[in-house]
Amino acid sequence: MPTTAQFLEEVECYSAHNYHPLPVVLTKGEGCWVWDVEGKKYLDMLAAYSALNQGHQHPKIIGALKAQADRLTLTSRAFHNDIMGPFLRELCEMTGFEQALLMNSGAEAVETAIKAARRWGYRVKGVAPDTAEVVCCANNFHGRTVTVVSFSSEPAYRDGFGPFTPGFRLIPYGDIDALAAAVTDKTVAFLVEPIQGEGGVVIPPDRFLQKARALCDRQKLLLMTDEIQTGLGRTGRLFAYEYENIEPDILIVGKALGGGVYPVSGILASRAIMDAAFVPGNHGSTFGGNPLACAVGRAALRVIREEKLVERSAELGRYFLGELQKVQAPCIADVRGRGLMIGVEIKKSFGTARPYCERLKDAGMLCKETHDQVIRFSPPLVIDKETINWALERIVPVLQG
Ligand SMILES: *Cc1c(COP(=O)(O)O)cnc(C)c1O
């Protein structure tokens, strides 16, 4: 059996260096736990950036994957399959939207939303051809394609990857006046994360989304919420926009929709928006809506419902956040979160969050720093209170250093 060092050396040699992972090589997972090749057990506090809300190796999701794998895996959308319809119906019923369009990765779903908004803008709003603008927020994360990094404010995501796609305007996150000022007669949509996950678990001011909703209604813009990370229970609601009692026009989902097993993403919207945007032949994906994805997606949703993961996230998140907020440690600048999406911000004078993540790893817990200063705690939603207490016993000494 190769050692950790040998695995790391191999990856160093053969993989493009587009990530900087913690030096741990995992080989097995179950629920909120993972094991490395040395046999050491860790609590997974990242949950694959919230793609693993249902936990590792959920038996119902793995069972659905295996059963479908034995029957039919791919048809392409040139033909129907007998599982996409049932999955879409369940997804629409659970979320309250009329229609959905399935893709694979999150970035593809964001691209799909942008295409929908642009075409809706030309066909319905009457914006002059090829001039549409979408307003986005600084410090956003919506994925890595050329168009998506075209409206990133993070230099590292853009450096060397231009020329970029035009038609985007950035405003400071949470600034409703800036949003109002950014709108022109070319604006078709406002794209926003209800909480910025990769940006460092940033929560906008209260009522920001409500005000944005009202502004979009007044100006005839589509409100598009990217809930790829915040959605499906992570923040203690099925979707984080529910905290503001609003509904977006286009909802973007991904990550946990695939139950930690398979990439499944998509957009949800009204029939009117979908009809304005899409006709046979103008958009698609070979693997989007494939039978394996739909079987996994159905099981992923069923687990969220049956195991009450949304309620669990709200309740355990409240407890975990409360306990973290009690911690007295000079390095802590801020502790914030909703549900089981929690960020502990480290003061710059204490260096970055990375060494803290390394010490947490040694203590048996896998976290990833985000935006240098923030340790994100976002375990699978199947975690229990006892395990959170286990984690707190290890987090507190690391923070008190
Ligand atoms: C992860 C993420 C994406 C991109 O998803 P991929 O599957 O990595 O392409 C987009 N938006 C948000 C908010 C995300 O967290």
- Out of 250, 274, 306, a domain closes at 306
Give the pLDDT score at 371.
87
**Is 217 an annotated catalytic residue?**
no
359-381 pLDDT, tens digit per residue, is 999 999 999 999 899 999 999 99
Answer yes or no: do 223 and 245 share one domain.
yes
H-helix segments, 51-105: 59-69, 84-95
C-alpha 102/C-alpha 267 separation (Å) is 7
Selecting among 255, 278, 361, 377, the annotated active-site residue is: 255
C-alpha 215/C-alpha 227 separation (Å) is 20
Answer yes or no: do 110 and 35 share one domain.
no
H-helix segments, 283-363: 291-306, 309-326, 354-362
Give the pLDDT score at 290.
98
Give the residues across from 291 on adjacent strands.
Answer: none
Give the pLDDT score at 2.
83
- Out of 259, 290, 306, a domain closes at 306
Kindly state the tokens that stand for 193. Answer: 């994360």
**Is 275 an annotated catalytic residue?**
no
Nearest to 240 by CA among 199, 265, 204: 204
Answer yes or no: do 75 and 110 share one domain.
yes
Selecting among 36, 44, 226, 249, the annotated active-site residue is: 226
Give the pLDDT score at 62.
98
Low-confidence ranges of the chain (pLDDT < 70): none
Answer yes or no: do 290 and 256 share one domain.
yes
Answer yes or no: do 208 and 314 share one domain.
no
Kindly state the tokens that stand for 313. Answer: 């996230």
Answer yes or no: do 115 and 238 share one domain.
yes
Ligand 1 geometric centre to CA of 141 (Å): 7
Answer yes or no: do 251 and 269 share one domain.
yes
**Is 226 an annotated catalytic residue?**
yes
Answer yes or no: do 157 and 294 share one domain.
yes
Answer yes or no: do 247 and 109 share one domain.
yes
Ligand 1 geometric centre to CA of 228 (Å): 6
Q: 35: part of which helix (H) or strand (E)? A: strand 33-36
Determine the distance from the C-alpha atom of residue 124 to the mean position of all C-alpha atoms in its chain, rounded to a whole number: 29
Task: Give the CATH number, domain containing residue 383.
Answer: 3.90.1150.10
Give residue ranges with CB within 6 A of ligand 1: 49, 105-107, 110, 141-143, 193, 197-198, 226, 228-229, 254-255
Answer yes or no: do 285 and 335 share one domain.
no
CB 256 within 8 A of CB 232: yes
Strand intervals (E) in 227-298? 250-253, 265-269
How many domains does one find in the chain? 2
Nearest protein Cα to ligand 1, atom 11: 142
Domain of 258, in residue numbers: 59-306
Name the maximum alpha-carbon separation found in the chain: 63
Pick the atom of ligand 1 nearest to 252's CA. 11
Answer yes or no: do 258 and 135 share one domain.
yes
Give the pLDDT score at 99.
98
C-alpha 111/C-alpha 99 separation (Å) is 17
Give the pLDDT score at 126.
98
Q: What is the pTM of this model?
A: 0.98
- Out of 247, 278, 306, a domain closes at 306
Answer yes or no: do 104 and 241 share one domain.
yes
Task: Give the CATH number, domain containing residue 113.
Answer: 3.40.640.10
